[in-house]
Structure 1
Amino acid sequence: MRKLCPNYDREDGLETVLEVPIPEEMFVSSTKNNVTSWKNMKSWMKAHIDRSVPHPLTTNQFGDRSSGLQILLGVVGAPLVPLPVPSDQSINSNIKDHPIENSAAKYIVQQYIGAVGGDKALNGVDSMYAMGKVRMIASEFSAGDGYKNNSNNKKEMKGKNMSNYGGGEVGAFVLWQKRPDLWCLELVLSGCKISAGSDGKVAWRQTPWHHSHASRGPPRPLRRSLQGLDPRSTANLFSNSICMGEKVINDEDCFVLKLEAEPSTLRARSSSNVEMIRHTIWGYFSQKTALLVKLEDSHLLKIKTAGDDSIFWETTMESLIQDYRTVDGINIAHGGRTFVSLFRFGESTENQSRTRMEEVWTIEEVDFNIKGLSMECFLPPGDLKKEQEVCNPVASYTRLPVRTRVTSAKLCSSKVVAIDVHEFHLSKKEDV
C-alpha cells in the first residue's frame, strides 16, 4: 500500500499524501518507469470538471468494465445493515426476563463481548480508524439472450464475466468512526471512488454516476464495520436477536442468531414506487471462541412498473470473517471474504437475471481514539438529495449503460483537524 507519491513534476517538491492509500497493483504500467506509473495514477485522481461528457482517457481505461465497476461499487462498496443500532444500549440486562430464544441470544452476545476484549475495553473506544485493501469480481448469469435451447428443448443459462481479469478489480478503503453513530467511508476501486457516511441524522452515499443521495428512514451503520471491525456495534445489533440453533461453518460449530427489520423500519425505507418487503440478518458465533465467524443478510424489494407486472430484486450477502488480531486489547478481524447474489425476477423469463459478486478484503491498519476527529469530518456533501434510496442501487441496474462517467479519487484534506500540542500531551498523561 502506498501512502505517499513522489513529486515527479518538481524534484524539490514535497511528496503527495494520499487520502486513500493506493495498492501496488493499481500502479499499472507497461514499462518499469516510475514516472509512467505516476502519470497513470494521476489520470485516475484528476478531478473532472464536466461530468456530462465522458473523458477519452476514462473511456479507454475502463471501457466495458464501467458497468461491472458500477454494480460492484453500488452493491458491495458500502451496504448498510437492516436497521439502526442503538449506541448506548445495555447488553448486560437480566436474561431471565426474556423468552428462551432471546435469553440464549443475549447470553451468546455476552460471551462474544468477553471474547473481543470485554466491556471496559469496548466502552473505552470513542473513535476508530481503519485502512484496508479489497479485491472485487463480478459475473452475470442472465436469461434473455443468454438462454438457448439444446437438443432436448431445455433452456441452458450462459454467464459472462464482468471483471477486467480473472483476478478482479483491486482497490483500497479508509473508514473513520466516532461515537455516537458517526462514520465516513472512502473506497477507491481501480481508480473509481465511492464515498459514504453518516452524521447521526442521515446516512448518505456519493458515487461517480449519481449525485449525492441519502437513505430513507433513520441512519444505519455500515455493514463493513460489522465484519469484525466494530465489536460494540455488532453486540448492540444482535442484543435483540433470537437464537435459531446451531450450524457448522468451515468445520466449526456455531450458534446462529437472527434479526429481522421491523415493518415500521421497512416502511420508512420504502417509497411510492419501491417497496422494501423484508431485510433479515444472521450472525454465526463460534462455540469454541465465541467470535463472529460469519455475517449473512438478505433483503427483498419490489419495484412497481407502469403495467401490472412488478420487478423483484433479492440481494443475499454472506461474509466469512477471519484473522482476528488483538489491537489495544480488542479483537479485530483483519481479513475476510464476501459472496453476493443479486437476483432479479417477476418479469418474463427472458428478462430474469442473476449476478454474482465476490470481495476479498484485508485490514492493513487499525487505530482507536483518534485525536482531533471532529464533527466536521462527518458532514454530508452539499449536493445531498434525500429523496433517493442509498441502499437500493439495484433500482438503477435494470439497464446499466455500457460506458459510464467515472470520476476519480480526489486528494482531499486530512480527516484529522489540527489540535493544540499542549492539550495533546495533557490528555496523554491523563490516559496513563
Structure 2
Amino acid sequence: MEKKQGFLSALKEEIVRGLSPSRSRSNSPAITASSMSGLLYRKKNSKDTSSYAAQPEPLIGKSRSSRPMVGEALSPLIEGPDPDGGVGEHKQSGPGLGQWMKGQLSRTPSVTSLAYKRSDLRLLLGVMGAPLAPVHVSTLDPLPHLSIKDTPIETSSAQYILQQYMAASGGQQVQTSIRNAYAMGKLKMIVSESETPTRVVKNRNVARAVESGGFVLWQMNPDMWYVELSVGGDKVRAGCNGKLIWRHTPWFGAHTAKGPVRPLRRALQGLDPRATASMFADARCIGEKNINGEDCFILKVLADPQTLKARSEGPGEIIRHVLFGYFSQKTGLLVHMEDSHLTRIQSIGGDAVYWETTINSFLDDYRPVEGIMIAHSGRSAVTLYRFGEVAMSHTKTKMEEAWTIEEVAFNVPGLSVDCFIPPADLKSGSFNEACELPHDERGKSAMALVALHAKVAALDISDDSCADNMTWKTEV
C-alpha cells in the first residue's frame, strides 16, 4: 500500500510540474488539455492497458500543434515554430503507461530524443522544404517549334517528347488560358538513414519517427509563386514576386536567394505542366530507361556556368546542377524526375567541404482538373552526401517524403500581385541550397547529426504492456 501511494505521489508531482507555466515545454493550453485527458484515461483503465492501446487519445480541435490526419481538413498554418517542438503530438501516438512514465521520470533520454528529432526536422525542411529548379524559365515564353532541319537529333527528339507531353497534359491552348493556380496537399517526411565511415544508423521505427504536415502553393503569371509548408510544428515559407526569390525559416529568418528567378521544384512534381515543359524546352534526349515497369524517354537540363556563378556566394560555390526528366512512352506524362547539385564550401583556414544533394521524385495518380492532368500523389527519396579531403569525414544521410494533393484550382478570383510581396525584414545574402546550416556548423553538422542518432540508438525502450514499442538499433 505504501509503495502504491509513493507511486501516485510521484505521479501527482509530475502532473503538477507538467501543468506548471514555468516549464518551457508546456506553454500550449491545447497540449495541456490533451495530456490531462490522456492521464485521466490511463488512470481509469490502468488495469487494462490493451484497451487503451486500441483506442488512442482524441485530438483537440483547437490544438495548434496537432497535425492533419488522413481524411481531415488541414488546420490553419501557424506563424513560426511550435513552442512545444512537436512533443505533444508524439504523446498522442498511443504509448503505454510504462513507456510514458519512463519518459517523464527520466529527463535525459527525453531531452536527447527531442534534440534528435529537432535536428532531423531542421535537416528535412532545409533540404526538402522548398527546393528550386536549376535554371530560369518563364511560362510566358513560347515553346520551341518542332524542327528537324539543321537540328541535332537529341534536341529535335526532346522537342517532340515535349509536344507529346503538352498534348497529354491537356493541350497548350488550355494551359495558356491559366492565369493563376492554387494547390493544397498533405505530406510526410522522415530521415531514414545516416551513415559515417564507421557506422550506419537506420530508422527502425518509421511510424513514430515520421513527421507529418501539409503545404499550400499559389502561383500567378508571370513567374510569381508563394508556398507555405508546415511540418512537425515548424513552418517554411518561400516566394517569388517575379524579380527575386526569398525564403523564411524559423532558424534563419527571411533571406533572399542569389541568381535568376527560378520555379519551385515542388510545382514541377506534376502540378504545373506548362512550367515543366518550359523547364525542358532546351533539354537534350539522352536515352531511354524503364521506370517501375514503364518505358520512358530521358531529357536532361544542365545549368550553365553563368547561372551557377550568379547563384554562388561567399564560401559557397555551386559547381553543377542537373535535372533529368523521365517521360512515359505510353502516356507521354512525366513519371520520374531526378535532381542533383553539388556545392563546394570553403571554410576559413580549413579544407573544402562538398555537399552533393540528389532528389529522386516519382509521380503517380494523374487525374484531370479542369482539363489539365495533375499528379495527385508522389514520393521523393533524397540523398545528402558530404565529403572532403579526409575520408573519415564523409557522411551520407537519406531522407524520404510522400505527398498527396487534396485540392487544385485554376484562375482563382481575387488573387493579385499583393499576395506575392516579400517580407519587410529580408536580409542580404542567400540561403545555402545544398543544406541549410549555420556557417559555424557546416564543417561538423553531419557528424553531430550522426552522434545524435547514436545517442538515441543507445536507448532501448521496450515494455510488454505497450502496444507501440520503440527500439533503436545501431549497425556497425
Aligned to 1:178: 220
1:78 to 130, 140, 161: 130
More displaced stretch, 165-174 vs 242-251: 165-174
Structure 2 counterparts to residues 29-428 of structure 1, below 5 A: 30=38, 36=60, 38-39=62-63, 41=65, 55=83, 57-58=84-85, 60-61=87-88, 62-96=114-148, 97-143=150-196, 147=198, 157-161=199-203, 165-166=207-208, 168-307=210-349, 309-389=351-431, 391-396=433-438, 398=442, 399-400=444-445
Shift of 1:63: 4.2
Paired AA for residue 246 in structure 1 = E
Instruction: Please report the TM-score for the alignment, with normalisation by the length of structure 1.
Output: 0.77
CA distance in 2, matches of 1:246, 1:34: 50
Q: What RMSD, in angstroms, separates the aligned Cα atoms of the two structures? A: 2.6
Distance in 2 between the 1:210 and 1:391 partners?
13
1: CA distance between counterparts of 2:322 and 2:205? 29
Contact 1:327 1:366 in 2 (8 A): yes
> Which 4+ runs in 1 deviate beyond 6 A?
42-46
TM-superposed CA distance for 1:142, in Å, is: 3.0
Aligned to 1:428: none
Distance 1:272 1:46, change over 3 A: closer
Q: CA deviation at 1:386?
A: 3.0
In the alignment, the residues of structure 2 paired with residue 355 and residue 251 of structure 1 have an alpha-carbon distance, to the nearest angstrom, of 28
Shift of residue 313 of structure 1?
Answer: 0.4
Tell me the CA shift for residue 42 of structure 1: 7.9
Gaps of 5+ in 2: 1-33, 42-55, 68-75, 89-113, 450-476
CA 1:36–1:131 in structure 2 vs 1: closer, same or farther (change >3 Å)? closer
Q: Which moved more, 1:112-121 or 1:97-106?
A: 97-106
1:214 deviation in Å? 1.1
The residue number in structure 1 matching 2:452 is none
Distance (Å, rounded) in 1 between the aligned partners of 2:193 and 2:393 = 13
- Equivalents in 1 of 2:78, 2:310: separation in Å? 38
* CA pair 94-159 structure 1, distance change in 2 beyond 3 A: same
Q: What amino acid is aligned across from residue 139 of structure 1 in structure 2?
A: S
Give the AA of the match of 1:143: T
Q: CA deviation at 1:141?
A: 2.2
Quote how far apart the aligned CAs of 1:286 are.
Answer: 0.4
Deviation at 1:137, TM superposition (A): 0.7
Specify the structure having the higher radius of gyration (Cα).
2
Higher strand share: 1
Q: What's the counterpart of residue 471 of structure 2? A: none
Specify the alignment match of 1:9 in structure 2: none
Letter in structure 1 aligned against 2:428: K
> In the alignment, what sits opposite 2:453?
none
> Is the 8 Å Cα contact of residues 146 and 159 (structure 2) preserved in structure 1?
no
CA-CA distance at 1:385 after TM superposition: 1.6
Q: Distance in 2 between matches of 1:390 and 1:274?
A: 7
In structure 1, runs of 5+ residues without a counterpart are: 1-26, 148-156, 403-432
Percent of aligned pairs sharing the same letter: 46
Residues 176 and 184, structure 1, Cα contact 8 Å, conserved in 2: yes
SS at match of 2:313: coil
Q: Which range is displaced more, 269-278 or 112-121?
A: 269-278
> Counterpart of 1:415?
none
Change (3 A) 1:192 1:225: same
Normalized per residue, which structure has more helix? 2
What is the number of residues matched between the two proteins?
Answer: 360
Does the 8 Å contact 2:174/2:372 carry over to 1? Answer: yes
Q: How far does the alpha carbon of each residue in 1:299-344 deviate from its partner, in whole angstroms, 9 at most, with x for none?
A: 0010002235200000000000110000001000000010000000
Of 59-68 and 161-170, more deviation after overlay is shown by: 161-170
CA contact (8 A) 2:64 2:78 kept: no
